[in-house]
Structure 1
């Protein structure tokens, strides 16, 4: 399946403009910068086509109601002719969306860690996924990095870096600061960093949430701004007010992990996936030496 990315001139421009106008009503911008409306923006129809694609697994499609991929990617300003790096894609949930979207005119790169057996297992599974469906993934690339000293590609080579539910792992491993510096290095000036992660309760400190999988929004923003980024926008797209964030096994108590198994399973399924922050940053070109950041310890799981 090839996604045709040429637009129908004025009609497509009008459609894109309406989509961005609707988005602006729900976003909470942190400045005047908003992803530009242009003929190269993805239309809602193109996103819908990919989200309905037969190559996406049924369990992954079932998560759309919690992860809102269409609205999230529109908020980040994803465009079809750009180089996009997804950091630590795990089993490839977003790979099934991003790689086909970028196949014809852009470039999708899955950046995977090479530091442990679990990471290598995920990489092998991702390679198998790509090899099994060349019609969708033949132009996708897998690149490995060392989390202790990450290099994600040539400096200034990417238009967008995206990461979904990973910052809490890096925080607990003590590598978050290095990762955000690597994001800044690989992006072009004006490039976008999109971050989604489990959001701690208002006023929660790092000590309070340690090991829970949740992070204070201010902490994640500081990681990015200390690396040189400017906060460009926040969205409630992935908010979940049912999430009370006080579970015996942290965020992993909720689906899709359901660490407690059958114990209170119906209760946690009714809550759904976690409440999440959705943050958009821009590389403004002013290199800035990052400050020292606090770390937390605990289990690391995505």
Structure 2
């Protein structure tokens, strides 16, 4: 091998690592500029059965609409089994604060078990029992309160005024209340709100405004035009509950999860 050939071989060998190194730097740049909500939605700690339901719940778009950021103090009211907590916990772990405001009762132990499934990811979640320990969340300290498919339970139990007042107290002036719930058409009998699991948009707006909130706007990201909101066992007829079991199962699976309103409110800045 002559000198020129050896030089060419050496240069070729030295050049080979350059492309992977450049690609590596590009990868780091992409990570730095990545959408933190998208990263949290893609967290490897999420359970596969929950990920499948993203097609109905649109967590990335929903949280973006509510303006959630990794530096915020966020309260999730009634996280139940932890579907949204799987996303919020890693999103807020390093730079923010995440309170799980769980109503006293059967879900508390289940949520504790959920936290124990991924202790390294959920170690900074602050579990607070509602209403017993709500005052441990300092008044005026929270950037965003989120509640997903829970207001219908408040209405059926007659607890909506007290709960929304608690949200108002804990939020900072200018703070956001984000609500997702099953939508009842405005033309339907309001009495259905006490039994069907569906609520009218006007009802939630009235509850929020009575507590002092300003209405900011709505998103149709969680809408489902296939949902008639008129079933033998209310919203629980649809997946994931499928209250009728095998009766009409294929039909209800084809409809999918309920038609949902996604509403944004703000605590006024005085």
| Structure with higher RCO (Cα < 8 A, 6+ apart) | 1
Q: Which runs of 5+ in 1 are unaligned?
A: 1-6, 13-42, 287-302
Aligned residue runs from structure 1 range 68-107, under 5 A: 68-107=58-97
**Do the aligned residues in 2 keep the contact of 1:152 with 1:182 (CA within 8 Å)?**
no
Aligned residue runs from structure 1 range 136-215, under 5 A: 136-146=121-131, 151=135, 153-215=137-199
- Distance in structure 2 (CA, Å) of the matches to 1:276 and 1:151: 30
Distance 1:49 1:260, change over 3 A: same
| RMSD after superposition | 2.0
User: Greater Rg, structure 1 or structure 2?
Assistant: 2
Deviation at 1:68, TM superposition (A): 0.3
- Distance in structure 2 (CA, Å) of the matches to 1:187 and 1:106: 15
Greater CA drift, 54-63 or 247-256: 54-63
Q: Are residues 1:65 and 2:55 paired?
A: yes
Give the structure with the larger helix fraction: 2
TM-score (norm 1): 0.76
Deviation at 1:201, TM superposition (A): 1.3
**Do the aligned residues in 2 keep the contact of 1:111 with 1:152 (CA within 8 Å)?**
no
Aligned residue pair count: 242
Report Cα offsets for 1:169-192 as digits up to 9, x if no partner: 000000001101110000000100
Deviation at 1:125, TM superposition (A): 2.0
Report Cα offsets for 1:186-223 as digits up to 9, x if no partner: 00001000000000013224214430000010000010
**Do the aligned residues in 1 keep the contact of 2:43 with 2:90 (CA within 8 Å)?**
no
Aligned residue runs from structure 1 range 1-302, under 5 A: 12=33, 43-44=34-35, 46-114=36-104, 116=105, 118=106, 122-146=107-131, 151=135, 153-285=137-269
Distance 1:217 1:151, change over 3 A: farther
* SS state at 1:99 partner: helix
Q: Which runs of structure 1 show a deviation greater than 6 angstroms over 4 or more consecutive aligned residues? A: none
Deviation at 1:136, TM superposition (A): 0.9
- Distance in structure 1 (CA, Å) of the matches to 2:57 and 2:225: 14
